[in-house]
Amino acid sequence: QSLVNANLIITVNSTVGVEALLLGKPVVLLGDSYFDKLYGVLSQEEGIRFASGQLDLDSDRIKLAISQFLDNCFIPIDYRRSEFRGVDGFDDFLEQLDS
């Protein structure tokens, strides 16, 4: 509930940042992250500008950037009871590695 009500999230390097971006909330990273180049991920200086109303961001664009990033960089896995039930897209992933 805190993420939903927040205007800006500050984290070192946490999946909370990903969750915030999925909600369209900008994130200030205090460390390096695999998602640190996405639209909506701010430096400390940009975070100050955003918090003071000097920087405007598009919430829908933030959501789109993180959604596309996750779709392009991760393989969805359905993991239940210590067994893999399905790994959607894994064959496509392996095919891309061969090309």
What pTM, to 2 d.p., does this model score?
Answer: 0.76
Per-residue pLDDT band for 85 (boundaries 50, 70, 90) equals low
Distance, in Å, from the CA atom of 51 to the CA atom of 69, rounded to the nearest integer, reads 25
Distance, in Å, from the CA atom of 93 to the CA atom of 99, rounded to the nearest integer, reads 10
Specify the pLDDT at position 37.
93
pLDDT at 82 over 60: no
Type of residue at 74: F
Rounded mean pLDDT of the chain? 86
